Amino acid sequence: MVRAVSNDDVVVHPPAEPKKTWRLIVLAVVLVGLVVLGKVTGLTDHLTVPKIRAFMSELGVLGFLLFLVVFCVGELVHIPGLVFMLAAVVAYGSVGGGVAGFVGGVISVTFTFVLVRRVGGQPLGEIKWPIMRKVMELLGERPIAVVTVLRMVFAFSPVLNYALGMSSVRLREYVIGSFIGLIPWAVGCALATEWVLEWSGLAAG
């Protein structure tokens, strides 16, 4: 006996979305373009600890707001986040500068995360490579703990921001993990500014 096939029995598999590929291409173009722009304009060479400290000290509250904007841009063009944290400590002192650098750091990595998520989506959440799949599963099980550890190890790494932005981790979990993970870096910069400047060579400029 032949049973009639109803519309409910038909499983339609949607075609692969080329939109995802295009989003990744656009993301790559945007990120690479920003880095190149930073090099061509000399932004990455001119934003040094002394110069950032100078405008922060001279412009007062406006200087801090400008600091936040420049920190976000600097993260995108691959200027080391330590440059901004150290500049904040030199400009405002250990306590005030440590807090300012910490706040700026959390905002800057969050800005990159949101930009990457908006443009590129979350392709890593669907990746099939076994090793990466396990990493994504661990990130799904304990997102805040994983983000915290990664942030403690890699600090402001743009690549880390990109990867987490394209993963399945939620914004709230990312912010909390980054908040906790950047605390040791902020404390370290606040307590050992002179040593870090000398060791890193960031005092020049």
Residue 30 lies in a domain: no
Residue 205 lies in a domain: no
Q: What is the pLDDT of residues 60-84, one digit of tens each?
A: 889 899 999 989 988 888 888 888 8
> Are the beta carbons of 70 and 105 closer than 8 angstroms?
no
- Percent pLDDT > 70 in the chain is 65
Q: What is the pLDDT of residues 175-197, one digit of tens each?
A: 999 999 999 999 988 888 777 66
Residue 26 lies in a domain: no
Q: What is the pLDDT of residues 96-117, one digit of tens each?
A: 889 999 999 999 999 999 988 8
Q: Mean pLDDT throughout 132-142?
A: 76
Q: What is the pLDDT of residue 114?
A: 93
For 137, list phi and psi in degrees, rounded to 5. -65, -40
- With a cut of 60, say whether residue 57 has pLDDT above it: yes
Residue 40 lies in a domain: no
Residue 104 is part of which domain span? 45-200
Residue 98 lies in a domain: yes
User: Measured between alpha carbons, how far is 181 from 13 in angstroms, rounded to an integer?
Assistant: 42
How would you class 49 by CB atoms within 10 Å of its CB: exposed for 0-12, middle for 13-18, buried for 19 or more?
Answer: buried
Residue 34 lies in a domain: no
Overall domain count for the chain = 1
Residue 31 lies in a domain: no
pTM of the model: 0.73
Residue 27 lies in a domain: no
Give the N- to C-terminal CA distance of the chain in Å, as an integer.
86
Q: What is the pLDDT of residue 18?
A: 61
